[in-house]
Copies of this chain bind each other. A is one copy, B any other.
Amino acid sequence: MDEKKPTILVTNDDGITAKGIASLVEIAKKFGNVVVVAPDKPQSGMGHAVSIHGILRVSESTIFGEDVKAFACSGTPADCVKFGISQVLKQKPDLVLSGINHGNNSATNILYSGTMSAAIEGAMEGVTSIGFSLLDYASDADFSGAMHFGSKIIQATLNDTHLPVGFCLNVNFPKCAIEEIKGVKYCRQAEAFWDDWFEHRKDPGGKDYYWLTGEFHNHDQGDDTDEFALAQNYVSVVPVQYDLTAYHTLKHIQQWEI
């Protein structure tokens, strides 16, 4: 490996064989020495789950060719980042990249997202991290626009020598042709939520079961949100933090007398 180039740990939540991670490895190779630790099966919707009650299996993979060391891991995306840093690299990489996810991780989707939880795990370990997602759930989605603008965002991140420790980005790409993408917008997370319900079905034995389903609704009228940017065919870039303290509410409850 070229010692001068940055070390880049790549993971995702759709699994090591997904088109999205192949696209991300392809652009990451332009910027540094790439090591992949990715789930051996789809792990979408896993949030920030970690395997504290079960074992991990890890096997080396040649899926990205000879110049990319790669491992398939039985754990969650957050497990993959922990394993990559602690067991494979045995030191912190310069960058953690996660994705490119097949599907939307804008707004509150970030909380359910294995892709973004992997990026947040990287940030919690003090490594600059970016999660990438394309608003197309198809397994053969067109990642060309995502690769073009994703490269620019990786370059800008590596060029910036004044990033805070734990810097993390949630990047979403609109579902449109590359020439229709208008550019990049720096945004806040929209107040947009899933309105959930469950489909009630009977199995062949007559027993009840349920499928979670729902519709995503944007209640946020702001023009500074990720949802607004994506609806206008911009790439949305939201800087992310893992301090969940609601500081404005802290002042309010400090008046409680218990």
Point out which of A52, A120, A241, A248 has the most chain B C-beta atoms below 10 A from its C-beta: A52
Q: Is A244 a contact partner of B152 (Cβ separation < 8 A)?
A: no
Q: Is A53 a contact partner of B48 (Cβ separation < 8 A)?
A: no
B-chain residues with CB within 8 Å of residue A257 when the two chains form the complex:
156
Secondary structure type dominating chain A contacts: mixed
* In the assembled complex, A6 has its CB within 8 A of some CB on chain B: no
Give the contacting residue for A188; candidates B46, B153, B247; CB below 8 A. B247
Q: Is B212 a contact partner of A56 (Cβ separation < 8 A)?
A: yes
A243–B56 CA distance with the chains assembled, in angstroms: 32
* In the assembled complex, A32 has its CB within 8 A of some CB on chain B: no
Taken together, the copies of this chain in the complex come to: 2
Q: Is A45 a contact partner of B51 (Cβ separation < 8 A)?
A: yes
* In the assembled complex, A221 has its CB within 8 A of some CB on chain B: no
Chain A residues in the interface with B (C-beta under 8 A): 42, 44-53, 55-58, 75, 78-79, 82-83, 85-87, 108, 110-112, 117, 120, 124-125, 149, 152-153, 156, 160, 162-164, 167-170, 183-184, 186-189, 191, 193, 196-198, 200-201, 207-212, 237-250, 252-254, 256-258
Q: List 25 A-B contacts (CB under 8 A).
A: A44-B53, A45-B51, A46-B49, A47-B49, A50-B112, A50-B212, A56-B198, A58-B208, A82-B198, A86-B198, A87-B197, A111-B244, A124-B193, A156-B258, A163-B252, A164-B252, A167-B249, A187-B250, A188-B243, A189-B243, A191-B243, A239-B252, A239-B253, A241-B249, A244-B244
